[in-house]
Amino acid sequence: MTATLFECRNLTKFFPIRNLLREVGRVHAVEDVSLSIPEGGTVGLVGESGCGKTTLARTLLFLLEPTSGQVLFRGDDLGAYSKRQLRAFRRETAIVFQDPYSSLDPRMLVADVVGEPLAIHKVAFGEDRDNAVLELLERVGLKTEHLYRYPHEFSGGQRQRLAIARALAADPRFILLDEATSALDVSVQAKILNMLNELKAAFQLTYLFISHNLSVVRHLSDHIGVMYLGRMVEYGTRNQVFGDPTHPYTRGLLAAAPSLDPDDRDRPREVALEGEVPSAVDPPSGCRFHPRCPNRKPDCANVRPELVDTGGGHLVACVPK
Amino acid sequence: METSENLVVVDKLKTQFFTYGGVVEALDEVSFEIHRGEIFGLVGESGCGKSVTASSILGLVAKPGKVISGRILLDGEDLLMKNDHQMSQIRGSRIAMVFQDPTSSLNPLFRVGYQVAEPYIYHQRRRKRRAWADATEILAKTGLPDPKEKARSFPHELSGGMRQRAMIAMSLTCEPDLLIADEPTTNLDVTIERQILDLVKDLQREFGTSVLWITHDMTVVAQLCDRVGVMYAGNIVEKSDVRTLFRSPKHPYTVRLLRAIPSAVTSQEHLEEIPGTVPRLIQPPTGCRFHPRCDHTMPVCSEAKPTELEVEPSHTVACHLFGGTGRVT
Amino acid sequence: MSLRENLPFASRYRMFKKRLHPITKEWGLTFYVLRHSRLAVVGGLIVLSFIFIAIFGSHLAPYDPVSVTIHERFQPPSASHPMGTDKMGRDVMSRMLAGAQHSIKAGALVLAIAVPFGVLLGGIAGLFGGWIDEVLMRITDVFLAFPSLVLAMSFSAALGPSLFNAMIALSIVWWPMYARLVRGQALAVREASYVEAAQARGAGRWHIMFRHILPNCLSPILVTLTLDMGWVITAAAALSFLGFGAQPPIPEWGRMVSDGRIYMLRAWWVSVFPGLGIVLTVLGFNLLGDGIRDALDPKLRRLTEVKWKRARTSSSSTS
């Protein structure tokens, strides 16, 4: 049985809206989410704007402190970690961001940008550090002469490779990919996705991949979580979620995503979801999705659905089901 | 081909930018036609020139750019021959445009209703009250809930999807012959995007407007457009109706591009990559601009620029593989 | 592939040389832009002459700036005294040459104290935020509210008038500008993704401060510093003019202007030449500062980079 690398239990995070010192409202970014990420797996998190996937990921890495609930790393409660333990934890986790233009310090040479984690954790110094960076550059498909250059001399795709090289420095076990390919052209994206798969196998990494692009998530992940307005509405393996989408939101999402087959427009498609995503400050009662749900029942506004296992680890949070 | 079925004919359009670093050959004799009442998709990756094509048609090419040669025929009239005043009459009434970011296209200081009514007042000289009523009506047509209230709101009070609907409403006020849409759904959530695409299809059918839809997203093209032009480095490399393009793409770039997109049909292990990178347009590759990255290169590819040849009815390709006979040589 | 394998004479030295290359290239571009701005060149020349005079002035002076020769007093500008003599018969030009060093020492002293202090304070305020930021910024506001010259005067009066005391006083009120500048930059840099990436990898606050925030502040600090130099010199001259700074017989330019004030109508050269000196110096620093600001501006650099590369390749192909 594979070990669980990350786990969160009943994780809740909200952001208070203050008027001077008084709290006048809350942004319910993440509400009572439980998730476990197996070691060596790739978990994809999908959802539209305001669903809380970015906040969930940041809280998982303890870059934000949870309002309530626990985050466990290899079984240890991160909340109980001392400063030193937290630092060691940070060595094992890395992030790759969406925008390759703002994620690299423009004033630093590539060698220093990629070597920064090595510097932070005092792993290597001087020419040893630069040698280590050289190896990382080679791994991501860049060359020796790129070592002492500035980031602005590189294209978007190359910069993303630099960001990945930096993420790989100091031997992390886990990488959070926050919309890492969303800003790239399709042909560049393909190279990066292929590379991410290779690296995962070569370094035995665990990925958490956040994206709004369903096909990319499907390509990369073995488990998928669908989030809506701060809650996890469906979770399962790739085949379960894409092959047998159960929650009405998941179905709506998959129906909405345009396919590459032009003949699909003639086939009867599921009705498009109406309306917009409501605000996270004043979310609907009961099931958050009920105002837009085509299968809505009167009970849906009162009862909050729990995640139920519909078989083989396929979790769905929907009342009628 | 200047038959009456063509609303727009772009013929050998050449646009260049004169920068400090040299001349950027953004559009290299681009030619395509848009039939009346159809949705034509212009698709390509960043830097291929699709947005420059739109601004060239509108006569709004940013300095230091200039349209060097070619013709842009709207119902037979060459737009490049018109002066600024004439073009400003055309923009908004005969040709309308919807942009990618509705936040910056809508003036935050004015109410939405006022901005939608503006074309009525400017182009059709309607009275303010009537223009406002018409604006509300057309906002309702775009599926905006509570159109009266929304018309009185300011742009920042609406969500991204609503703003885009307002932009579409604004563009349709004068029932334009041509609607140019430059990546209008790129920043929207997928469910909202679906709504907007359905809306565009419905409105287009109702108003009979021709649409030039610019995007980098092949899936949107597959679901929305009637005909497609694939652009690479300032050239249209392949042009056909949508089903043919996806069923049997011919140009090596199109083929590789389609295979690079992850979807239900591609293998999960490896996505096909296109070696190399997009060329700089200051000193573009000689001959066919795609030849450095193509795995079917022949000596002629670096010497001569391929002309567009019809390989099937209404399917043209610009590639030396499909020589003079129109078949693979 | 290793650094050592590629560089047979391996070593840290080689590594540093290779690292230095892109940095010097960036500076090369800066100098290129500067060289091609006429005003910046003029400013630069003025500043360089001023620094030269400050260092070597005393040795270049043809006459003794201090000794009194009453019988030669109030000589108008002539061949033997290009700038005339003052009320004590001292050669004005010699006094100016010898006095330049005081102005520059004054400027350097004030900035050497104010800048590091202000930068550190602003950096801490911007980085830590919260109540630390609030408290530090309010303190900054208090110091900003002080009229600088008045404070300097009272300081001098309390400790005894001398250029040194006046400079200490000035530095007390000079640092707030730098604190604000760096705080603003720190707030902006703090939000950048690369800082979040470093924090996610375990970077502590000090690492963020010294590796990310401060390097990104260097350009604006450099520009402000250069522009400021002119103003500090003016302030020092002003204090000396009022009698709170340099005391006689120190030939500080501001003092010289003050000394010659009463005799303006019959011996204008005693005040005018030192005054012109001050004006020219401040102008020089201003022009140079503007030039540096333009040279460090990313848009201008990108535009000029192409010209520069072409110039370099053509010169290397012909040489």
C207-216 pLDDT tens trace? 998 889 888 8
- pLDDT greater than 90 at residue C179: yes
Higher pLDDT, B187 or B4: B187
Structural domains of chain B, count: 2
Token representation of residue A307: 């995640």
pLDDT at site B267: 55
Q: Which residues span the domain enclosing B277?
A: 6-94+176-317
Selection from A237, A177, A163, A165 nearest residue A203 by Cα: A165
Cα separation of C120 and C214, whole Å?
Answer: 9
CB burial class (10 A; 0-12, 13-18, 19+) of residue B3? exposed
User: B157 and B37: one domain?
Assistant: no
B270–A194 CB contact, under 8 Å: yes
Per-residue pLDDT of B110-165, as tens digits, reads 999 999 888 888 877 878 888 888 889 889 888 888 888 888 899 988 888 888 99
Q: At what angle do helices C298-318 and C12-35 cross, to 10 degrees?
A: 110
Query: Residue B102: CA atoms inside 13 Å, Cβ hemisphere, count?
Result: 28
- Chain B hits for C306, CB-CB cut-off 8 Å, are 20-22
In angstroms, the separation between the Cα of residue C215 and the nearest Cα of chain A is 7
Higher pLDDT, B329 or B101: B101
CB nearest to A212's CB, from B189, B242, B243: B189
* C237 found inside a domain: yes
Per-residue pLDDT band at A320 (split at 50, 70, 90): low
Q: How far is CA B204 from the centre of its chain?
A: 15
* B326 found inside a domain: no
User: B132 and B117: one domain?
Assistant: yes
Question: Do the beta carbons of residue B9 and residue B71 sit within 8 Å?
Answer: yes
Which range, of A48-57, A266-275, C209-218, averages the lowest pLDDT?
A: A266-275
Mean pLDDT in residue range C93-101: 86
* B151 found inside a domain: yes
Q: Specify the pTM.
A: 0.86
- Chain B hits for C307, CB-CB cut-off 8 Å, are 20
What backbone phi and psi angles, to 5 degrees, belong to A27? -95, 110
Cα separation of B161 and B171, whole Å?
Answer: 15
- Domain CATH for C221: 1.10.3720.10
Higher pLDDT, A239 or C249: A239
* B199 found inside a domain: yes
Cα separation of A174 and A74, whole Å?
Answer: 12
User: B218 and B307: one domain?
Assistant: yes
User: B65 and B204: one domain?
Assistant: yes
Selected residue of B196, B241, B273 to mutate for chain A interface (largest A Cβ count, 10 A): B273
Selected residue of C302, C306, C308 to mutate for chain B interface (largest B Cβ count, 10 A): C306
- pLDDT greater than 70 at residue A105: yes
Strand partners of residue B9 = B33, B73
Averaged pLDDT score across all residues of chain A: 89
CB nearest to A104's CB, from C15, C18, C194: C194
* C242 found inside a domain: yes
Cα separation of B253 and B278, whole Å?
Answer: 11
pLDDT at site C136: 93
CB nearest to C200's CB, from A94, A102, A107: A94
Per-residue pLDDT band at B70 (split at 50, 70, 90): very high
- pLDDT greater than 80 at residue C313: no
C307–B22 CB contact, under 8 Å: no
- pLDDT greater than 80 at residue A20: no
pLDDT at site A68: 92
Per-residue pLDDT of B224-271, as tens digits, reads 999 999 999 999 999 999 999 999 999 999 999 998 888 765 556 678
- pLDDT greater than 90 at residue C312: no
User: B229 and B308: one domain?
Assistant: yes
User: B85 and B142: one domain?
Assistant: no
User: B160 and B210: one domain?
Assistant: no
∠ Cα A71 A248 A66 (to 5°): 15
Q: What is the ipTM of this complex?
A: 0.86
- Amino acid found at A247: H
Per-residue pLDDT band at C249 (split at 50, 70, 90): confident
CB nearest to C192's CB, from A102, A108, A163: A102
Cα separation of B217 and B232, whole Å?
Answer: 14
A138–C3 CB contact, under 8 Å: no
Edge-to-edge strands of the sheet including B77-78?
B22-35, B6-19, B65-74, B77-78
* B217 found inside a domain: yes
* B89 found inside a domain: yes
pLDDT at site C9: 45
- pLDDT greater than 90 at residue A165: yes
- Annotate chain B with three-state secondary structure: CCCCCEEEEEEEEEEEEEECCEEEEEEEEEEEEEECCCEEEEECCCCCCHHHHHHHHHCCCCCCEEEEEEEEEECCEEHHHCCHHHHHHHECCCEEEECCCHHHHCCCCCCHHHHHHHHHHHHHCCCHHHHHHHHHHHHHHCCCCCHHHHHHCCHHHCCHHHHHHHHHHHHHCCCCCEEEEECCCCCCCHHHHHHHHHHHHHHHHHHCCEEEEEECCHHHHHHHCCEEEEEECCEEEEEEEHHHHHHCCCCHHHHHHHHHCCCCCCCCCCCCCCCCCCCCCCCCCCCCCCHHHCCCCCHHHHCCCCCCEEEECCEEECCCCECCCCCEC
Backbone region of residue A159 per phi and psi (left: phi > 0; alpha: psi in -120 to 50; beta: other values)? alpha
* B155 found inside a domain: yes
Residue that finishes a domain, picked among B146, B175, B204? B175
Backbone region of residue A142 per phi and psi (left: phi > 0; alpha: psi in -120 to 50; beta: other values)? beta
* B322 found inside a domain: no
Mean pLDDT in residue range A50-61: 91
Mean pLDDT in residue range C32-58: 88
Mean pLDDT in residue range C142-150: 85
Per-residue pLDDT band at B326 (split at 50, 70, 90): very low
Q: Which residues span the domain enclosing C90?
A: 19-318
Structural domains of chain C, count: 1
Mean pLDDT in residue range A59-77: 92
Cα separation of B11 and B76, whole Å?
Answer: 12
Question: Do the beta carbons of residue A257 and residue A216 sit within 8 Å?
Answer: no
pLDDT at site A167: 94
- pLDDT greater than 90 at residue C58: no
Give me the percent of chain C exceeding a pLDDT of 70: 95
Higher pLDDT, B328 or A152: A152
Strand partners of residue B322 = B328
- Domain CATH for B235: 3.40.50.300
- Amino acid found at A241: V
DSSP per residue, A67-87 = SEEEEEETTEEGGG--HHHHH
A155–B217 CB contact, under 8 Å: no
- pLDDT greater than 70 at residue C272: yes
- Chain A hits for B269, CB-CB cut-off 8 Å, are 197
What backbone phi and psi angles, to 5 degrees, belong to A45? -120, 120
pLDDT at site B26: 92
- Chain C hits for A119, CB-CB cut-off 8 Å, are 207, 211
Which range, of A303-317, C82-96, C279-293, averages the lowest pLDDT?
A: C82-96
Selected residue of C193, C299, C305 to mutate for chain A interface (largest A Cβ count, 10 A): C193
pLDDT at site A118: 93
pLDDT at site B44: 93
Per-residue pLDDT of B86-100, as tens digits, reads 998 888 889 999 988
| Contacts for C2 with CB less than 8 Å, ≥ 6 apart | A131, A134, A135
Token representation of residue A2: 């594979």
pLDDT at site A236: 93
Which range, of A42-46, B300-304, C242-246, C264-268, averages the lowest pLDDT?
A: C242-246
- pLDDT greater than 50 at residue C87: yes
User: B268 and B302: one domain?
Assistant: yes
Give me the percent of chain B exceeding a pLDDT of 70: 95
pLDDT at site A1: 55
